[in-house]
């Protein structure tokens, strides 16, 4: 767990206020990705780089990481670096825009690496509007050389933000359940990685079944469900210290936990005598509050981003459907009325939409609807997929899929996928093992 | 002549089937339509005492066959003075969290039934595994019906 969190010493902006001629509209799908050149970053004074540092190959790795981030967003098309004419240092200091226009680049990213007296890595980046012929963004970051990846993610966010007008989601992490073994004896471990799949780490050993981890929006904490000592309960895990604790003192199964948007409460289901209801527990006062009292299954609760409402699924109508209520448990309203079953509602961080899983005629769909139930839109269909989680900017959903399996436990592979809110840009997220139950963190450098 | 009376008899039977089919569809759609009725995967607590009962999709209703199995379990638990854990399970065709709740509801339906047959609450524990521990890993309607189950396990 050590070195897991990187300290940034300072962030210095020297951006000039100027308008770009090129801009990306991300509210529509099916758009042409923006032709983008990402020049290799250059080392200003190689003599300051130790042999060890040189081996990190940062000038290549940083630009590659930025390129991969931008490419995966589906909004940028990265022009093959082999066609770049200018050397990285000229591109960064005084680019000749005609050379970049020639290869049809509309924007260009350049950068410089310096090791300062305190042995810190200083990364300077510039974003150039090739069409308008000017610099539109610039940033310098200091960090330990080992944390170069986060610098690349922060730069990627800056580019995304400048070109779309919305905050990015690259400097984030994914918590998920790593799976191995046959389906009837699946071993499950908590795992955490950067949003691009790098820095994968396991947080539990797999001795007990663990499910549905979710990040705290405010602290380095996650909440999840564990069958520790064969008692299925909701737990808290501090990912910096590795300390775990059970949430509350419930005489039965607690499950489906999430944090409130202020990070002060856990909302979850508690099952007692065959009836699952929704409860909250205040993490500092430990006060427990019961929010639903219906003799049906009420589970998968998720707060609205302002904390005023809660969405959840219930089978009180006779089938699994989505409901919205006030955060005190009053004014319960059903919002899903389409054909089929609806589950795992999760409120967008932007506040406008609820993402869900829909089960209809033997297929599973990930979709979104407005919080009053109108405007239902299905984004993707599969044999089995569920549990969407939003990127912090509310533009991308991550979820998991499971393939069909055979009698002998073969097949049944589970994997993580992401899709844009537009329904485009569906992508598999590579993980070292099978994976399920993904949840997206907030921006780390917020 | 013979063929004619046979034909008539057939017609009467067919009508009878049609009418009974109507009467069930006119009611609320039955939960028991896809309950597993076979004996594969079934284990025994004692001779003649099956350890598990099966459920319909998204249902925790006990069928007549399930109640008959639980009657035998109740007699056995009483006579041998054991404690049991009721494990509730769901098939893989639901969302994970809902399935945890559904498994818990199934296990409690069984526990409640055993209590009406005179088993003390203190000698029954319930646990739900949702869809996490299938007995048949195949992705087929048969496997799913075998996985929608509650299993009674001796705990002492």
pLDDT in tens, A197-247: 999 999 999 999 999 999 999 889 999 999 999 999 999 999 999 999 999
Q: Do B94 and A319 touch (CB under 8 A)?
A: no
How close B107 comes to chain A (CA, Å)? 7
Kindly report, as residue ranges, where domains of CATH 2.120.10.30 are found in chain A: 173-440
Nearest-by-CA chain A residue for B124? A273
Q: For an interface test with B, which of A181, A188, A253, A279 has the most B Cβ atoms less than 10 Å from its Cβ?
A: A253
Collapsing DSSP to helix, strand or coil, B121 comes out as helix
- Whose CA is closest to A34, among A196, A164, A166? A164
Question: Chain A within 8 Å of B138 (Cβ-Cβ)?
Answer: yes
Report the distance separating Cα B152 and Cα B126, nearest Å: 9
> Of A21-25, B18-22, B58-62, B134-138, which gets the smallest average pLDDT?
B18-22
> For testing the chain B interface, which of A179, A182, A183 should be mutated: the one with the most B CBs within 10 Å?
A183
A139 neighbors A124 (Cβ within 8 angstroms): yes
Give the contacts of A423 (CB within 8 A, at least 6 positions apart): A29, A377, A379, A380
B132–A409 CB contact, under 8 Å: no
* Residue A22: predicted pLDDT: 66
- Give the best residue of B59, B93, B95 to mutate against chain A (max A CB count within 10 A): B95
**Does A320 sit within 8 Å of B95, measured CB to CB?**
yes
Mutate to test the interface with B, among A271, A273, A312 (most CBs of B within 10 A): A271
Decide if A437 and B96 are in contact by the 8 Å CB cutoff.
yes
In contact, B151 and B129? CB cutoff 8 Å: no
Structure tokens at A425: 């840009």
Interface of B with A in 91-110 (CB under 8 A): 92-98, 100-102, 104-105, 107-109
pLDDT for the residue A49: 86
Q: Where in chain A is the domain with CATH 3.40.50.10070?
A: 10-164
Q: In chain B, what residues touch A343 (CB-CB under 8 Å)? A: 94-95, 97-98
pLDDT in tens, B92-148: 999 999 999 999 999 999 999 999 999 999 999 999 999 999 999 999 999 999 999
Return the CATH number of the domain spanning residue range A173-440. 2.120.10.30
Q: Which member of B60, B94, B133 has the closest CB to residue A184?
A: B133
Residue of B nearest to A278 (CA): B101
Which residues in chain B have Cβ-Cβ distances shorter than 8 Å to A411? 139
* Residue A20: predicted pLDDT: 52
Tell me, what's the pLDDT at A5?
Answer: 36
What is the CATH number assigned to the segment(s) A10-164?
3.40.50.10070
Instruction: Report the Cα A96 to chain-centroid distance in Å.
Output: 37
Interface of B with A in 47-66 (CB under 8 A): 58, 60
Is the CB of residue B86 less than 8 Å from the CB of residue B152? yes
Over residues A305-357, the pLDDT tens digits come to 999 999 999 999 999 999 999 999 999 999 999 999 999 999 999 988 999 99
Q: In Å, what is the CA distance from A145 to each residue of A118, A123, A141, B38?
A: 12, 10, 11, 64
Note the pLDDT tens digit of each residue in B3-49.
Answer: 455 455 444 444 444 444 443 333 344 567 899 999 999 999 999 99
Q: Is A385 on the interface with B (CB under 8 A)?
A: no
A437/B92 touch (CB, cutoff 8 Å), yes or no? no
B62: left (phi over 0), alpha (psi -120 to 50) or beta: beta
Q: Report whether A320 contacts A329 (CB < 8 A).
A: no
Cross-chain residue pair B95–A343, CB shorter than 8 Å: yes
Cβ neighbours of B97 in A, within 8 Å: 212, 255-256, 269, 299-300, 343-344
How is residue A36 written in tokens? Answer: 């983008």
Judged by DSSP in three states, A331 sits in coil
Place of tokens 């090129």: A22
Measure in Å the smallest separation between the Cα of A281 and chain B Cα atoms.
19
Cβ–Cβ < 8 Å for A153, A67? no
Residue range A239-266: mean pLDDT, rounded? 95
- pTM given for the model: 0.90
Proportion of chain A above pLDDT 70, given as a percent = 93
Residue A408, chain B, CB below 8 Å: the answer is yes
Please list every residue in chain A whose beta carbon sits closer than 8 Å to the beta carbon of residue B112.
273-274
CB A137 within 8 A of CB A158: yes
Q: Which of B58, B94, B127 sits opposite A230 (nearest CB)?
A: B127
> Contact at 8 Å (CB) between A237 and A224?
yes
| A295: contact with B, CB 8 A cutoff | no
Distance CA A236, CA A281 (A): 12
What's the mean pLDDT when you consider all of chain A?
A: 92
What pLDDT sits at residue A26?
A: 62
HSE at residue A345, side-chain half, CA atoms within 13 A, is 34
Give which of B30, B87, B97 to mutate to test A binding, by max A Cβ within 10 Å.
Answer: B97
**A386: contact with B, CB 8 A cutoff:** yes
Q: Is the ipTM of this complex over 0.85?
A: yes
Q: How far B98 CA lies from chain A's nearest CA (Å)?
A: 7
Nearest Cβ partner of A274 from B92, B104, B134? B104
Whether residues B104 and A276 touch (CB distance < 8 A) is answered with: yes
Residue A184 touches chain B, beta carbons under 8 Å: yes
């Amino acid at each position: 767990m050590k070195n897991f969190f990187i300290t940034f010493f300072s962030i210095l902006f020297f951006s000039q206020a100027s308008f770009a001629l090129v801009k990306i509209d991300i509210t529509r799908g099916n758009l042409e990705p923006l032709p983008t050149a990402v020049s290799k970053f250059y080392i200003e004074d190689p003599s300051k780089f130790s042999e060890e540092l040189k081996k990190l190959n940062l000038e290549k790795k940083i630009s590659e990481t930025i390129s991969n981030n931008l490419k995966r967003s589906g909004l940028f098309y990265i022009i093959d670096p082999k066609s770049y004419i200018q050397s990285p240092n000229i591109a960064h200091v005084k680019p000749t825009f005609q050379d970049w226009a020639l290869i049809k680049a509309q924007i260009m990213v350049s950068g410089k690496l310096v090791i300062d007296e305190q042995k810190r890595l200083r990364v300077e980046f510039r974003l150039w509007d090739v069409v308008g012929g000017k610099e539109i963004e610039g940033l310098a970051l200091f960090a330990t050389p080992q944390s170069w990846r986060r610098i690349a993610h922060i730069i990627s966010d800056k580019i995304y933000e400048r070109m779309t007008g919305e905050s990015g989601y690259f400097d984030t992490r994914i918590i998920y359940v790593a799976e191995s073994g046959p389906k009837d004896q699946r071993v499950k471990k908590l795992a955490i990685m950067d949003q691009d799949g790098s820095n994968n780490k396991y947080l539990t050993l797999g001795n007990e079944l663990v499910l549905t981890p979710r990040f705290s929006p405010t602290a380095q904490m996650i909440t999840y469900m564990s069958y520790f000592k064969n008692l299925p309960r909701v737990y808290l895990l501090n990912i910096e210290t590795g300390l775990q604790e059970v949430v509350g003192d419930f005489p039965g199964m607690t499950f489906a936990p999430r944090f409130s948007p202020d990070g002060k409460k856990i909302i979850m289901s508690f099952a007692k005598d065959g009836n699952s209801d929704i409860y909250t527990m205040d993490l500092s006062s430990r006060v427990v509050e019961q929010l639903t009292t219906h003799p049906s299954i009420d589970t998968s609760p998720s707060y609205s981003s302002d904390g005023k409402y809660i969405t959840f699924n219930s089978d009180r109508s006779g089938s699994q459907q989505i409901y919205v209520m006030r955060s005190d448990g009053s004014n319960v309203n059903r919002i899903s009325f389409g054909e089929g079953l609806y589950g795992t509602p999760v409120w967008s961080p932007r506040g406008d939409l609820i993402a869900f899983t829909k089960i209809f005629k033997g297929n599973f769909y990930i979709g979104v609807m407005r919080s009053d139930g109108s405007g239902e839109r299905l984004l993707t269909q599969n044999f089995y997929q569920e549990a969407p989680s939003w990127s912090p900017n509310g533009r991308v959903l991550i979820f998991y899929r499971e393939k069909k399996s055979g009698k002998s436990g073969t097949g049944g592979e589970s994997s993580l996928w992401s899709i844009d809110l537009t329904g485009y840009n569906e992508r598999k997220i590579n993980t070292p093992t099978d994976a399920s139950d993904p949840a997206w963190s907030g921006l780390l450098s917020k | 002549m013979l063929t004619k009376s046979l034909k008539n008899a057939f017609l009467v039977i067919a009508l009878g089937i049609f009418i009974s089919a109507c009467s069930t569809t006119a009611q609320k759609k039955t939960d028991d339509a896809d309950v597993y009725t076979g004996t594969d995967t079934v284990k025994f607590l004692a001779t003649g005492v099956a350890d598990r009962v099966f459920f319909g999709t998204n249902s925790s209703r006990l069928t007549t066959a399930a109640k008959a199995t639980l009657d035998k379990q109740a007699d056995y638990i009483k006579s041998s003075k054991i404690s049991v854990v009721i494990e509730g399970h769901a098939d893989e065709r639901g969302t994970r969290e809902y399935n945890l709740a559904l498994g818990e509801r199934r296990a409690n339906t069984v526990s409640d039934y055993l209590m009406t047959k005179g088993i003390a609450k203190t000698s029954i524990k319930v646990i739900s595994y949702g869809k996490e521990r299938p007995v048949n890993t195949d992705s087929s309607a048969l496997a799913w019906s075998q996985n929608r189950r509650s299993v009674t396990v001796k705990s002492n």
